Amino acid sequence: MNLANKLVNLIFVEIVVMKRILLSLLIFCLSCDISSSKPIDNINPVNTVDIQNFDDMSRAYFASGCFWCVETIYESLEGVEEVYSGYAGGTTINPNYYQVMSGKTGHAEAIEIIYDSSVISFDTLLKVFFDSHNPTTPNRQGPDYGTQYRSIAFYNNEGEQKKIKNYIDFLSTSSIFGKNIITEIKKIDKFYYAEEYHQDYEKKNPYSPYIQNVSIPRYNKFKQKSSNYVKVKDNH
């Protein structure tokens, strides 16, 4: 990449950062009242997804930044049948995107991974989680800022909880990241599916500036590190 292209990409990332900060501030102002109460619960979910065809599959949940990026990474893995974008880790019932962007719901942008445990294990999904993002940056991932972009490893049961804790202990002892790992470990109480336009966002919007300058480079960086997990027929 020549200097001109590097400068263009740098300027784009800075613009993305400013736009997200301004959008978050605007949403915050519009969504809060004098008492600064949290967003109200919604009666109906913003999206309903039919997952009955996956009854015999396992599920895992992670939050590691913008779900457009994370969804792409996990969908590339052998043994992963489907990945859905959504919200988890907070208290607001049936949140929508703008409520989550306010930073007041407690939710993070997260993904649900539906996978065949006979092909890929939870241990591998956990390794991919840490291989594909920076778990040392509080409330930030790449150009995206806010509590909704924080790092969370969710667990379904005590076995998964123990695996997450042990792996974080291993990474910390090994000083692989060089900084303290701030990833939260939380039980997945409820996963709310995000709006339909967020699902498979990269596939639907391959030429989006964000996809081209943030999502794809992040995926390619992961692929270089963990290519042995990626499906043979990967379109990236």
Query: What are the tens digits of pLDDT across the range 137-181?
Result: 999 999 999 999 999 999 999 999 999 999 999 999 998 899 999
133 and 141 in contact (C-beta within 8 Å)?
yes
pLDDT at residue 215 tops 70: yes
The pLDDT value given to residue 231: 82
Work out the widest C-alpha separation in the chain, in whole angstroms: 54
**How far is residue 45's CA from residue 59's CA, in Å, rounded to a whole number?**
20
**CA-CA distance, 193 to 177, in Å (whole number)?**
31
**Lookup result for tokens 């043979």:** 232
End-to-end CA, the chain: 18
Ranges 22-31, 117-126, 131-140: which has the least confidence: 22-31
Q: What is the pLDDT of residues 21-74, one digit of tens each?
A: 455 444 444 333 333 467 888 888 888 877 667 888 999 999 999 999 999 999
Output the pLDDT for position 212. 96
Find, among 220, 211, 218, the residue nearest to 141 by Cα: 218
The more confidently predicted of residues 21 and 187 is 187
What domains does the chain contain, in order, with CATH numbers? 3-229 (3.30.1060.10)
pLDDT the model gives residue 31:
37
Q: Confirm whether 32 is a catalytic residue.
A: no
pLDDT at 53: 76
Output the CA angle 200-112-125, nearest 5 degrees: 105
Q: In the prediction, which pLDDT does 20 show?
A: 55
Instruction: Using the predicted structure, report yes or no on whether residue 134 has a pLDDT greater than 70.
Output: yes
- The span from the CA of 199 to the CA of 70, in Å, is 11
Mean pLDDT computed over 204-223: 95
Catalytic residue among 29, 32, 66, 69: 66
Average pLDDT over residues 119-134: 97
Q: What is the pLDDT of residue 94?
A: 96
| H-helix segments, the chain | 3-31, 67-75, 97-101, 122-131, 158-174, 201-204, 209-210, 216-225
**pLDDT value at residue 132:** 96
What is the pTM (predicted TM-score) of this model?
Answer: 0.83
CA dihedral in degrees (156, 162, 168, 172; nearest 10)? 170
Q: Give yes or no for residue 236 having a pLDDT over 90.
A: no
